[in-house]
């Protein structure tokens, strides 16, 4: 049976249950995490966020008025610290000037327009924009990451290949519920960390029966 998104979500949910994922005490903290975790393990992001807390640098206002050098020192454990410090500051300044420092006000208005707005900021690409929309603001905007691409590739689920193509494919199959999107993306990450890593661990994989790559390999 060819794998569909619907079937994939059912199999992963059965295997891993609910994840209740993306940590963060406030929406702004979730956004900071989304920027810091770019191509970086969450463990290192936790250190960086912990440093920001100790330095009282976890609000748009505080970051907007902080010095880049101060930010760099705090977020150094999360890697790419020079660009991420600049990007954090420009995001904080954007929240200050556009939303009066209130992240919650970002929820108003059209999702597509807000997405474009986020994409126009430095250091905010498609995945980070969608992570912010989904996990910080609760908007139904599906997140596509390298794990998602790898998994679809192994399962040989046909798709256009571009970010927006994959995003739309998931959104068509999953309805318009933000919680469903969040859960699905989380399940994909958990699954790929467990099994669908670069050199796959197919023993015990809940998708093996439906995975063309597994069947090829077994020959």
Q: How many CA atoms lie within 13 A of 166 on its CB side?
A: 20
User: Which residue lies nearer to DNA by CB, 24 or 206?
Assistant: 24
Give 208-213's long-range contacts (Cβ < 8 A, gap of 24+).
210/1, 210/3, 210/7, 210/11, 210/155, 211/3, 211/154, 211/155, 212/154, 212/155, 212/156, 213/154, 213/155, 213/156
Nearer to DNA, 104 or 164 (CB): 164
Tell me how far, at minimum, the Cβ of 131 lies from DNA, in Å: 6
Q: Report, in Å, the least distance between residue 199 CB and DNA.
A: 7
Please state, in angstroms and rounded to a whole number, the distance separating the CA atoms of residues 208 and 16. Answer: 15
Rounded to a whole number of angstroms, the minimum distance from the CB of residue 152 to DNA is 15
Tell me which H or E stretch contains 213: helix 212-218
Per the structure block, which two tokens stand in for 167?
């995003």
- Cα angle for residues 68, 127, 59 (degrees, 5° grid): 35
Q: Which residue number, 4 or 83, has a Cβ lying nearer to DNA? A: 83
Min dist CB 133 to DNA, Å, is 12
Provide, rounded to whole angstroms, the least separation between the CB of residue 203 and DNA: 16
Residue closer to DNA, measured from CB, 92 or 124: 124
Helix, strand and coil content of the chain, in percent to the nearest 5, comes to: 65, 0, 35
Shortest spacing between CB 8 and DNA, in angstroms: 17
Please say which residue, 44 or 96, places its beta carbon nearer to DNA: 44
Cβ closer to DNA: 109 or 122?
122
Q: Which residues bind DNA (CB under 7 A)?
A: 21-22, 37-44, 47, 76-83, 121-129, 131, 143, 145-147, 186, 189, 193, 197-199
Q: How many CB atoms are closer than 10 A to CB 109?
A: 10
């Amino acid at each position: 049976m060819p794998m569909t998104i619907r079937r994939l979500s059912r199999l992963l949910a059965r295997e891993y249950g609910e994840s209740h994922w993306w940590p963060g005490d406030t929406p702004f903290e979730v956004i900071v995490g989304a920027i810091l975790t770019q191509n970086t393990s969450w463990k290192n992001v936790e250190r960086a966020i912990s440093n920001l807390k100790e330095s009282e640098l976890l609000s748009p206002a505080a970051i907007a008025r902080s010095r880049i050098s101060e930010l760099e020192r705090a977020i150094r454990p999360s890697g790419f610290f020079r660009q991420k410090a600049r990007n954090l500051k420009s995001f904080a300044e954007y929240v200050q000037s556009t939303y009066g420092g209130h992240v919650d006000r970002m929820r108003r208005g059209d999702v597509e327009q807000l997405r474009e707005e986020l994409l126009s900021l430095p250091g905010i690409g498609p995945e980070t924009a969608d992570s912010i929309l989904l996990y910080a603001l609760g908007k139904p905007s599906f997140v596509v990451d390298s794990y998602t691409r790898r998994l679809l590739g192994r399962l040989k689920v046909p798709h256009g290949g571009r970010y927006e193509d994959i995003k739309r494919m998931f959104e068509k199959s999953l309805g318009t519920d933000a919680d469903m999107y969040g859960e699905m993306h989380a399940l994909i990450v958990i699954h790929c960390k467990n099994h669908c890593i670069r050199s796959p661990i197919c023993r015990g994989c809940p998708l093996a029966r439906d995975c063309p790559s597994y069947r090829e390999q077994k020959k």
